[in-house]
């Protein structure tokens, strides 16, 4: 639609201008009257305004004092980790020049030798790692090794012992839902951030970014956000009970469901990383059958064995895969327990086997053609099957 342009005569414009001025004056008067009416005739500005008197705080509560003490004792052990890497162009070729910032996370001092524990996903793919201590000093870190199956990694910095405060280590086998917990880290790059909560679940199983199954995790509602990964989860005594590793959130921000690797696992895996440079997943050499077989066998849990790898620890232990029974029906061994721990599915089997070192004797309870039998298997690392 087209609109014609409008024009106005000079005389009329003068009238309109005068009317406009009158309207402005009228609005100003009305506005002033409104202000006066609204504030009861008092002026808007007060030259005698002074700061308010301060209300005394009073004594801190016992809980507040405990929280402060825990933070002050543990914070010197918590570090900030910045990583950088080389970039590839759209054709997949290496871009020459400076390193690009890759990401950041948290970690903590494991000992006075300069070992720093963090998550594997924090440093994965990094070309360089810089560790910032609580005193703001920065140190170039060397990667000692990783355990991707447990989402753990160990760095080392060459800092004076006087600047290194190793974290106090607790235990996780006796944790209870409802216990208070404290998380320290660097969410969104904000150093030395403390969040608190309670343990809301134990023995959780999640998958890492690499698809690895990690079990036995501690679930808490302490806020864990991007940048908290690798930081410590502490108990009310200020001891390390877990390593913050994941959150369950559609948005990527804290939604009150965080997961931490239990310290008992950390305390077992970290020394192995320091000793050997790497820790792989343990395995026994089996392929899992369809779970529908459980119904055919009248079982409601367990891991049915589909195939046993020749020469594997499973074959040596006497495990049997799918085969025809003497009666002509299809049967297979079903693993019910690993070292006394019930297994419901493949993930449970993987998690329970990972709790044992390669070569150690691990008892299995197996359902075989209507009866339970006990076997002993000696797991090996997954890498052993790739050689």
Predicted pLDDT at 23: 41
* Contact criterion met (CB below 8 Å) for 363 and 339: yes
Candidates 3.40.50.740, 1.10.10.10, 2.60.120.380, 2.40.10.10; CATH matching 180-276: 2.40.10.10
Is residue 22 classed exposed, middle or buried when 0-12, 13-18 and 19+ CB atoms within 10 A define those classes? Answer: exposed
Residue 78 has φ and ψ, to the nearest 5°, of -95, 135
Q: Could you tell me if residue 188 is left (phi over 0), alpha (psi between -120 and 50 degrees) or otherwise beta? A: left
CATH architecture assignment, domain 63-88+99-163: Beta Barrel (2.40)
Query: Which residue, among 324, 288, 292, has the nearest Cα to 307 in the 3D structure?
Result: 288
The string of DSSP codes covering 179-246 is -EEEEEE-GGG-SSEEEEEEEEEEEEEEE-TTS-EEEEEEEE-S---TT-TT-EEE-TTS-EEEEEEE
CA distance 197 to 230: 18
**Rounded Cα gap, residues 363 and 381, in angstroms:** 17
Specify the residue for token string 């060397």: 142
Closest by alpha carbon to 343, among 355, 351, 331, 354? 351
Is residue 301 annotated as part of the catalytic site, yes or no? no
Of 80, 88, 78, 79, nearest to 125 (Cα)?
88
Tell me which residue has tokens 């199954």: 213
Considering 229, 254, 260, 312, which one is annotated as catalytic? 229
Instruction: Tell me if residue 155 falls in helix, strand or coil.
Output: strand
Looking at residue 77, what is its pLDDT?
A: 97
The closest alpha carbon to 226, from 206, 263, 204, 251, belongs to 251
Q: Is 245 left (phi over 0), alpha (psi -120 to 50) or beta?
A: alpha
261, exposed or middle or buried, with CB in 10 Å at 0-12, 13-18, 19+? buried
Q: pTM for this structure?
A: 0.75
Instruction: Identify the DSSP state of 123.
Output: H
* Tokens describing residue 300: 């409601």
What are the C-alpha distances in Å from 131 to residues 34, 101, 158?
A: 61, 14, 11
Q: How many CA atoms lie less than 13 Å away from 261 in the CB half-sphere? A: 30
Say if residues 167 and 58 touch (Cβ distance below 8 Å): no
| Angle made by CA atoms 154, 249, 81, in degrees to the nearest 5 | 25
Q: Which one of 115, 121, 149, 200 is the catalytic residue?
A: 121
| Beta bridge partners of residue 157, listed in sequence order | 141
Q: Spot the catalytic one: 151, 235, 333, 348.
A: 151
How many angstroms separate the CA atoms of 311 and 316, rounded?
Answer: 7
State how far the Cα of 70 lies from the Cα of 299, in Å rounded to an integer: 48
Domain ranges of the chain: 63-88+99-163, 180-276, 282-386
What is the model's pLDDT at position 38?
Answer: 55
pLDDT of residue 92: 52
Classify domain 282-386 at the CATH topology level: Pdz3 Domain (2.30.42)
Beta-carbon contacts of 84 under 8 Å, excluding residues fewer than 6 positions away, are 99, 100, 101, 102, 126, 127, 128, 130
Helices and strands, counts by H and E, the chain: 7, 22
pLDDT tens by residue, the chain, 387 residues: 333 333 344 443 444 444 444 444 444 444 444 444 455 677 899 999 999 999 998 999 999 999 999 999 999 999 999 998 755 555 555 444 454 546 789 999 999 999 999 999 999 888 899 999 999 999 999 999 999 889 999 999 999 999 999 999 999 999 999 999 999 998 887 888 999 999 999 999 887 766 778 888 999 998 888 788 899 999 999 999 999 997 665 555 555 688 999 999 999 999 999 999 988 788 899 999 988 888 888 888 899 999 999 999 999 999 999 988 888 888 899 999 999 999 988 888 988 998 888 899 999 999 998 899 999 999 998 776 665
pLDDT given at position 138: 96
Helix, strand, coil shares, percent, the chain, to 5: 25, 35, 40
Evaluate whether 63-88+99-163 and 180-276 have a shared fold. Answer: yes
């Amino acid at each position: 639609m087209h609109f014609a342009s409008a024009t106005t005569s000079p005389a009329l414009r003068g009238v309109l201008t005068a009317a406009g001025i009158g309207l402005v004056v009228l609005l100003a008067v009305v506005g002033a009257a409104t202000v006066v009416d609204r504030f009861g005739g008092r002026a808007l500005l007060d030259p005698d305004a002074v700061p308010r008197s301060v209300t005394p705080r009073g004594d801190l509560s016992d809980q507040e004092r405990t929280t402060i003490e825990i933070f002050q004792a543990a914070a010197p052990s918590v570090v900030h980790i910045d990583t950088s890497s080389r970039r590839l162009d759209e054709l997949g070729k290496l871009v020459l020049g400076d390193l690009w910032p890759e990401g950041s996370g948290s970690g903590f001092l494991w000992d006075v030798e300069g070992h720093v524990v963090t998550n594997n996903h924090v440093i994965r793919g990094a070309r360089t790692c810089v560790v910032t201590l609580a005193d703001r000093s920065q140190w170039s870190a060397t990667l000692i090794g990783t355990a991707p199956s447990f989402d753990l990694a160990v760095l080392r910095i060459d800092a004076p012992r006087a600047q290194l405060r190793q974290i106090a280590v607790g235990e996780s086998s006796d944790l209870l839902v409802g216990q208070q917990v404290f998380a320290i880290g660097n969410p969104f790059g904000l150093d030395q951030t403390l969040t608190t909560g309670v343990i809301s679940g134990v023995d959780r199983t999640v998958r890492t970014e690499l698809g690895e199954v990690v079990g036995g995790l501690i679930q808490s509602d302490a806020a864990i956000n991007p940048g908290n990964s690798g930081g410590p989860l502490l108990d009310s005594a200020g001891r390390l009970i877990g390593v913050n590793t994941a959150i369950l959130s559609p948005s990527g921000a804290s939604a009150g469901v965080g997961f931490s690797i239990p310290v008992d696992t950390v305390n077992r895996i970290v020394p192995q990383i320091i000793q050997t440079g790497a820790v792989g997943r343990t395995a026994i050499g089996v392929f899992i059958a369809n779970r529908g077989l459980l119904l055919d066998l009248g079982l409601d849990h367990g891991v049915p064995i589909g195939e046993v790898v020749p020469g594997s620890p499973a074959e040596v232990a006497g495990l049997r895969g799918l085969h025809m029974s003497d009666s002509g029906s299809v049967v297979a061994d079903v693993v019910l327990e690993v070292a006394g721990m019930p297994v419901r599915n493949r993930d449970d089997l993987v998690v329970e086997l990972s709790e044992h070192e390669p070569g150690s004797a691990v008892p299995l309870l197996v359902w075989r053609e209507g009866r339970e039998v006990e076997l002993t298997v000696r797991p090996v690392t997954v890498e052993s099957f790739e050689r």
